């Protein structure tokens, strides 16, 4: 599956970039007997809109049909969409964008009595991240070792 994603990414990124967008993520999965190729697109500022996805669907689909040898072992459905406001933070570019933004962090082990935190990402490096978290009306800084991260995603502050 990862080889399929790698080949697809290499093929479609130039056309997506030409349209002023970014390929945020791609997945090739089988659900209820059907294969899906999902491409998640974004554009800064403001995000992706339906018109842009519509404009990209046909050229991307045609490009995928031209890849030789065909990387897809079986028929698939192409889905293109926005990654959503609360998308996972995966790439270095995501980490850079997340700095100063409100995020959700899920941990493998408790820190300060909790396995989940939401707050503003103040800083990060290869070893840890620093999060500003509001607790009991006060803002505290929490340092979280990256090896304890189970999940990390953008979040909407309520």
pLDDT at 45: 78
Q: In the prediction, which pLDDT does 41 show?
A: 94
Q: Given its phi and psi angles, is residue 50 left (phi above 0), alpha (psi -120 to 50 degrees) or beta?
A: alpha
pLDDT of amino acid 120: 96
Q: What's the pTM?
A: 0.76
Question: Which of 18, 78, 14, 86 lies closest to 47 in space, CA to CA?
Answer: 86
Q: Nearest to residue 107, comparing CAs of 146, 136, 154?
A: 146
On whether the CB atoms of residues 156 and 146 are closer than 8 A, the answer is no
Return averaged pLDDT per consecutive 10 residues of the chain, 158 residues in all.
87 94 92 94 86 93 92 92 90 91 96 93 95 90 95 92
Q: Please tell me the CATH superfamily of domain 92-154, with its number.
A: Ribosome maturation factor RimP, C-terminal domain (2.30.30.180)
Phi and psi, residue 62, nearest 5°: -60, -40
Query: Any idea where the domains of the chain sit in the sequence?
Result: 2-81, 92-154
What's the pLDDT at 8?
93
Architecture of domain 2-81: 2-Layer Sandwich (3.30)
Give the Cα separation of 146 and 129 in Å (integer). Answer: 7
Nearest to 51 by CA among 94, 27, 7, 82: 82
**Residue 15 and residue 34: Cα distance in Å, rounded?**
26
Q: Distance from first CA to last CA of the chain, Å, rounded?
A: 37
Residue 3's contacts (CB-CB under 8 Å, 6 or more residues apart) are: 71
Residue found under tokens 């995966």: 90
Question: So what's the pLDDT on residue 135?
Answer: 82
């Amino acid at each position: 599956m990862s080889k399929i994603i790698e080949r697809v990414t290499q093929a479609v990124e130039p056309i997506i970039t030409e349209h002023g967008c970014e390929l945020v993520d791609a997945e090739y999965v089988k659900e209820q007997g059907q294969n899906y190729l999902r491409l998640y697109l974004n554009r800064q500022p403001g995000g992706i809109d339906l018109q842009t996805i519509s404009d990209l669907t046909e050229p991307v689909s045609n490009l995928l049909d031209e890849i030789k040898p065909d990387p897809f072992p079986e028929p698939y459905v192409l889905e293109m969409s926005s990654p959503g406001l609360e998308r996972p933070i995966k790439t270095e570019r995501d980490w850079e964008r997340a700095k100063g933004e409100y995020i959700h962090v899920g941990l493998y082990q408790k820190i300060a009595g909790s396995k989940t935190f939401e707050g503003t990402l103040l800083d990060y490096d290869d070893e840890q991240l620093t999060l500003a978290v509001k607790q009991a009306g006060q803002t505290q800084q929490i340092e979280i070792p990256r090896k304890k991260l189970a999940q990390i995603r953008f979040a909407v502050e309520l």
